[in-house]
């Protein structure tokens, strides 16, 4: 089911938590709202769910208005399921009774438990489950009434890092099997990039950029967006035609330049878009390295004085203090972020 917000705003006192947001989520889509703590993403979710009333704007679900323009539909009538950050399970109820809460009849609860693979633990209580299992119970409870949309508020933040990746994949498969539209809010870039079909990047109550994970990562709309989503080098250079010439080397642009095709600009260069090797006339020094198993993130001091982040496979390791020659990786393309 589609979800649309049109010029939605919400303030708490003098704080504008959501500021004139317009957004559309397609039927069956897994959509993420990504942003730092305090940017308004949870308030946005609560406005969709009906736990908050917008000060201005309109919210529609499946083409039907649920808030705005003198329209107000109570949360329980919106056919929206909610998965809370802290699970919000009843400790005195069994798993099955938790899932059945708010669901007419027991068939919906049993089907939801089968969907999340926990039918064999229907008689357990929440304290008898692992964190990942409790999260799946919370998801089953949201799915049991057959909602049109499921909202997930930082669903993996309380889990150990070792559990997050596996559970993210499980939740994605469950939601896709259910065919339900889902909106996830998170401050975790990896979470949004791996789960979402599309994502909205949010800052200080406003939407900065909307696009596929690949587009938001490779073509950030502004410098803040580039720096928030993953590691990045912001490098000054001179724009000439469709290339930017920098102290590190030249980069072709991701998309054609607009306006004057000459002048000083800044481009966003990801660490994997640079490479270095020893054995040539050096132009940089290795300062630090962060071993990550399959790859290594190096911090270099360039001869021009700039610090550069470079990501290389861990097949060959370079030591701090080693002199190297750094340059753009083959076919590296960068966006302008001025």
Over residues 102-137, the pLDDT tens digits come to 676 667 788 888 888 888 998 899 999 888 888 888
Task: Return the percent helix, strand and coil in the chain, to nearest 5.
Answer: 25, 35, 40
Q: Which two tokens stand for residue 30?
A: 């897994």
Q: Which pLDDT value is given to residue 57?
A: 97
| CB-CB contact of 75 with 146 (8 Å) | no
Q: Which pLDDT value is given to residue 90?
A: 87
- Reported as a single tens digit per residue, the pLDDT across 181-218 is 999 999 999 999 999 999 999 999 999 999 999 999 99
Q: Return the higher-pLDDT residue of 324 and 156.
A: 324
Q: Which pLDDT value is given to residue 259?
A: 56
Average pLDDT over residues 62-80: 92
- The share of the chain scoring above pLDDT 90, in percent, equals 64
| CB-CB contact of 20 with 57 (8 Å) | yes
Q: Which pLDDT value is given to residue 87?
A: 78
Q: Which pLDDT value is given to residue 32?
A: 97
Average pLDDT across the chain, whole number:
91
Give Cβ neighbours of residue 87 (< 8 Å, ≥ 6 apart): 126, 134, 135, 137, 138
For residues 260 and 17, what is the distance between their CA atoms, to the nearest angstrom?
37
Strand partners, 263: 239
**Residues 52-75: b if buried by 16+ CB within 10 A, e if exposed:** bebeebbbbbeeebbbbeeeebee
Banded model confidence at residue 279, pLDDT cuts 50, 70, 90: confident
Across 161-165, 245-249, 293-297, least confident range: 161-165
| CB-CB contact of 18 with 29 (8 Å) | no
> Pick from 85, 86, 81: which is nearest to 99 by CA?
81
Q: Which pLDDT value is given to residue 114?
A: 86
Q: Which pLDDT value is given to residue 106?
A: 61
Tokens 């035609």 map to which residue?
241
- Reported as a single tens digit per residue, the pLDDT across 17-59 is 999 999 999 999 999 999 999 999 999 999 999 999 999 999 9
Q: Which pLDDT value is given to residue 85?
A: 79
> Pick from 228, 245, 227, 226: which is nearest to 236 by CA?
245
Half-sphere exposure of 181 (CA within 13 A, CB side): 18
Strand partners, 274: 328
Q: In order of start, what are the domains of the chain with their CATH numbers? A: 3-79+147-223 (3.40.50.300), 232-334 (2.40.50.140)
Tokens 């998965």 map to which residue?
83
Q: Which two tokens stand for residue 86?
A: 């802290």
Q: Which two tokens stand for residue 258?
A: 């607009």
The answer on pLDDT for 171 being more than 90 is: no
Average pLDDT over residues 274-282: 89
Q: Which pLDDT value is given to residue 196?
A: 95
Average pLDDT over residues 54-66: 95
Q: Which two tokens stand for residue 285?
A: 């020094």
Q: Which pLDDT value is given to residue 194?
A: 92
Q: Return the higher-pLDDT residue of 57 and 168.
A: 57
* Whole-number CA gyration radius for the chain: 24
Q: Which two tokens stand for residue 100?
A: 């059945």
> Pick from 191, 169, 186, 182: which is nearest to 28 by CA?
182
* pTM score, whole prediction: 0.89
């Amino acid at each position: 089911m589609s979800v649309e917000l049109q010029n939605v705003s919400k303030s708490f006192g003098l704080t504008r938590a959501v500021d004139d947001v317009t957004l559309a989520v397609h039927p069956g889509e897994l959509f993420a709202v990504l942003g730092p703590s305090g940017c308004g993403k949870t308030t946005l979710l609560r406005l969709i769910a009906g736990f908050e009333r917008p000060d201005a704007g309109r919210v529609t679900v499946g083409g039907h208005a649920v808030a705005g323009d003198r329209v107000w539909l109570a949360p329980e009538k919106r056919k929206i399921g909610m998965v809370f950050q802290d699970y919000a399970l009843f400790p005195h109820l069994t798993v099955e009774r938790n899932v059945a809460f708010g669901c007419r009849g027991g068939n919906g609860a049993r089907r939801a438990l089968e969907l999340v693979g926990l039918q064999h633990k229907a008689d357990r209580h929440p304290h008898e489950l692992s964190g990942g299992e409790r999260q799946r119970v919370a998801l089953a409870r949201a799915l049991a009434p057959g909602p049109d949309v499921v909202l997930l508020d930082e669903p993996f933040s309380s889990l150990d890092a070792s559990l997050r990746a596996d559970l993210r994949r499980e939740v994605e498969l469950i939601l896709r099997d259910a065919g339900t539209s889902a909106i996830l809010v998170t401050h975790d870039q990896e979470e949004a990039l791996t789960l979402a079909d599309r994502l909205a990047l949010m800052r200080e109550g406003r939407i900065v950029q909307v696009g596929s994970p690949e587009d938001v990562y490779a073509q950030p709309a502004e410098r803040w967006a580039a720096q928030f989503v993953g590691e990045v080098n912001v490098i000054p250079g001179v724009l000439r035609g469709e290339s930017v010439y920098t102290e590190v080397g030249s980069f072709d642009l991701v998309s054609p330049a607009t306006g004057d095709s000459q002048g000083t600009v800044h481009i966003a260069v990801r660490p994997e878009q640079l490479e270095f090797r020893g054995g040539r006339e050096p132009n940089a020094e290795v300062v630090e390295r962060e071993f990550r198993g399959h790859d290594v993130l190096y911090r270099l001091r360039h001869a021009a004085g700039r610090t550069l982040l470079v990501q290389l496979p861990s097949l060959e390791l370079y030591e701090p203090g080693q002199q190297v020659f750094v340059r753009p990786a083959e076919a590296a393309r960068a966006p302008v972020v001025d």
